[in-house]
Amino acid sequence: MRRHRHAKIVATVGPASSSPEMLKALFQAGVDTFRLNFSHGGRDDHARVHAAIRALEREVGCPIGILQDLQGPKIRLGTLQGGGFRIETGERVRFVLEGHDGDRDAIPLPHPEIFKAVTPGQELLIDDGRVRVQVTGLSNDAIEAEVSVGGAISNRKGVNLPGTLLDISPLTQKDRDDLAFGLELGVDWVALSFVQTPSDVLEGRGLIGDRAGLMVKIEKPQALDRIGDIIRLSDSVMVARGDLGVEIPPEDVPGRQKELIRACRVAAKPVIVATQMLDSMVAAPTPTRAEASDVATAIFDGADAVMLSAESAAGRYPVEAVAMMDRIIRRTEAHRLYPSLVAASEPGDEESPPHAVATAASGLAESIHASAIVAFTLSGTTAARSARRRSTVPILAMTPSETVSRQLCLLWGTQSVRSDDIVSYEEMVDHASEQALRHGYARSHQFIVVVAGIPFGRAGSTNNLRVLEIP
């Protein structure tokens, strides 16, 4: 099914959207990749959803991506007396390493890594920053603090430490078990939560290997300090603005979003913008105008994909939310300022021959008004290199890999098609013409631009460019 837009839509599956009928409705409304959030739901639930998506894929005859999002080491309070209580601004409180049903003098915070890393003067943010306390003193098993912003706290509320590098793996034992389960199912992408350093990415890569694409979620300011290395070691990036917006000032998030999108375009890695994009549609059939502008901004920035979270997982209007996001993307991409705004953040020319060939293919396709760029790709790299320029010419990616075909459902402006291995130049020419016609990307006497790596079967060797006129 060809989408007549360039940016892709990722939708989170949850109680509101897990039935086969609803998954089909969401796909028809515009979903390109489904996200399975392993912070919620049981493995049996995720297995049923995975099977339903694969059945839908067979029914519609085109690839559908599946993203497994691991929970990560979420830092939370322990249990409190009565389930919670209110602390007031100026009040002094005490956090303890061990204990349960704590009161103001012994609020359980069962995370030794915090006690090792925190120093006097630092802030602890509770419940996404709704409550804030400043550390005034500490010992091996207790943290003294003064409440700077009061409010209600309750059992298991999250705690953030802006600017603090914690000695903690991004993969808990639960994550490792969930990862093994997801890889056995056959997910296409795995998202690592709370990545802080390049070594975190290497740890994930050691477990995932090449069985799925590795996506890093940028939620910690420490990751921004090493973002070049983190992007280089990953396969894709999610700008997870929820936790990131707690850890850094909210006014810094828009600029960081633009920086991350551009850095991923430079590296030819897909980038998703996520969190609260159409949040009011959890309970309302239409978004706010600010939310529509937020989605449009990500599209003007050149993001590969935008994501729905609670809107599609638990909201009252999941199909309407997807359809709205689809309409916003289409209308934004059709706006007269869109080409110039996307071009303004275009990465500079890459000096490597493979990037230069792919960039030339995009420029040539626009110059001759080609109907499509046909990219033969083993790993997805050739298609990604072609997409980084954000040409108005659609990309038809031909790959023998079922996994790569599904992973390309995240890539800007690209539709992927499974194809047999190509062994000769003549076969490539014939196959490109045939598939462009079959999938409605070209008609007789129109031009297509074909980009590939020769010899065939070697990943990443983009080195050949050909213009074809469809017979």
**Tens of pLDDT, residues 70-109:** 999 989 999 999 999 999 999 999 999 988 888 989 999 9
Q: Are 152 and 27 part of one and the same domain?
A: no
Give residue 456's pLDDT: 75
Q: Are 212 and 286 part of one and the same domain?
A: yes
Angle between helices 43-60 and 20-29 (to 10 degrees): 50
Q: Are 265 and 184 part of one and the same domain?
A: yes
Contact at 8 Å (CB) between 124 and 135? yes
Tell me, yes or no, whether 309 lies in a domain.
yes
Tell me, yes or no, whether 347 lies in a domain.
no
Domain count, the chain: 3
Identify the residue with better confidence: 283 or 100: 283
Residue range 138-163: mean pLDDT, rounded:
92
pLDDT greater than 80 at residue 423: no
Q: Are 408 and 326 part of one and the same domain?
A: no
CA distance linking residue 119 with residue 354, whole number of Å: 48
Residue range 133-138: mean pLDDT, rounded:
95
Contact at 8 Å (CB) between 404 and 384? no
Identify the residue with better confidence: 293 or 129: 293
CA distance linking residue 33 with residue 26, whole number of Å: 10
- Catalytic site includes residue 381: no
Radius of gyration of the chain (CA): 24
**What CATH number is given to the structural domain containing 90?**
2.40.33.10
The model's pLDDT over 334-386, given as tens digits with 9 standing for 90+, comes to 999 999 999 888 776 566 888 888 888 999 999 999 999 999 998 999 999 99
Give residue 350's pLDDT: 61
User: Which phi-psi region, left, alpha or beta, contains residue 268 (left: φ > 0; alpha: ψ -120 to 50)?
Assistant: left
pLDDT greater than 70 at residue 165: yes
Q: Which of 48, 54, 74, 76 is catalytic?
A: 76
Residue range 309-315: mean pLDDT, rounded:
97
Q: Are 185 and 311 part of one and the same domain?
A: yes
CA distance linking residue 38 with residue 156, whole number of Å: 17
Tell me, yes or no, whether 346 lies in a domain.
no
Structure-token pair, residue 307:
């994501």
**Residue ending a domain, choose from 334, 361, 387:** 334
Q: Which of 8, 132, 217, 385 is catalytic?
A: 217
- Catalytic site includes residue 76: yes
The model's pLDDT over 216-263, given as tens digits with 9 standing for 90+, comes to 999 999 999 999 999 999 999 999 998 899 999 999 999 999 999 999
Q: Are 288 and 177 part of one and the same domain?
A: yes
- In this structure, what are the phi and psi dihedrals at residue 56, rounded to the nearest 5 degrees? -65, -40
In the DSSP assignment, the letter for residue 424 is: S
Structure-token pair, residue 336:
């007269």
The model's pLDDT over 19-54, given as tens digits with 9 standing for 90+, comes to 999 999 999 999 999 999 999 999 999 999 999 999
Give residue 328's pLDDT: 98
Tell me, yes or no, whether 348 lies in a domain.
no
Residue range 299-308: mean pLDDT, rounded:
97
Q: Which of 275, 381, 403, 414 is catalytic?
A: 275
Q: Are 186 and 253 part of one and the same domain?
A: yes
Contact at 8 Å (CB) between 243 and 219? yes
Q: Hey, what's the torsion of the CAs at 69, 70, 74, 78, to 10 degrees? A: 110
**Residue ending a domain, choose from 160, 182, 211:** 160
Q: Are 206 and 291 part of one and the same domain?
A: yes
Q: Are 147 and 16 part of one and the same domain?
A: no
CA distance linking residue 471 with residue 467, whole number of Å: 13
Q: Are 244 and 284 part of one and the same domain?
A: yes
Structure-token pair, residue 456:
């065939």
pLDDT greater than 70 at residue 286: yes
Label residue 126 exposed, middle or buried (CB < 10 Å: 0-12, 13-18, 19+). buried
Contact at 8 Å (CB) between 317 and 310? no
**What CATH number is given to the structural domain containing 48?**
3.20.20.60
Structure-token pair, residue 86:
């209110």
Contact at 8 Å (CB) between 205 and 184? no
User: Which phi-psi region, left, alpha or beta, contains residue 356 (left: φ > 0; alpha: ψ -120 to 50)?
Assistant: alpha
Tell me, yes or no, whether 141 lies in a domain.
yes
Q: Which of 3, 5, 8, 35 is catalytic?
A: 35
- Share of the chain residues as helix, strand and coil, in percent rounded to the nearest 5: 40, 25, 35
- Catalytic site includes residue 217: yes
Residues in CB range of 332: below 8 A, 6 or more apart: 295, 296, 299, 300, 338
* Parent domain of 179: 8-72+169-334
Tell me, yes or no, whether 85 lies in a domain.
yes
**Residue ending a domain, choose from 334, 362, 386:** 334
Give residue 376's pLDDT: 92
**What CATH number is given to the structural domain containing 443?**
3.40.1380.20
Residues in CB range of 250: below 8 A, 6 or more apart: none
Q: Which residue in 274, 230, 252, 271 sits closest to 12, CA to CA?
A: 274
Q: Are 188 and 138 part of one and the same domain?
A: no
Distances in whole angstroms, Cα of residue 402 to Cα of each of 64, 65, 69, 420 = 10, 10, 20, 11
Give residue 176's pLDDT: 97
Contact at 8 Å (CB) between 411 and 387? yes
**Mean pLDDT for all residues in the chain:** 93
pLDDT greater than 70 at residue 308: yes
Residue range 200-205: mean pLDDT, rounded:
97
Residue range 182-209: mean pLDDT, rounded:
97
Residues in CB range of 41: below 8 A, 6 or more apart: 14
Give residue 213's pLDDT: 98
Q: 273: which strand partners? A: 239, 306
Q: Are 181 and 151 part of one and the same domain?
A: no
Q: 87: which strand partners? A: 151
Residue range 382-408: mean pLDDT, rounded:
93
- Catalytic site includes residue 92: no
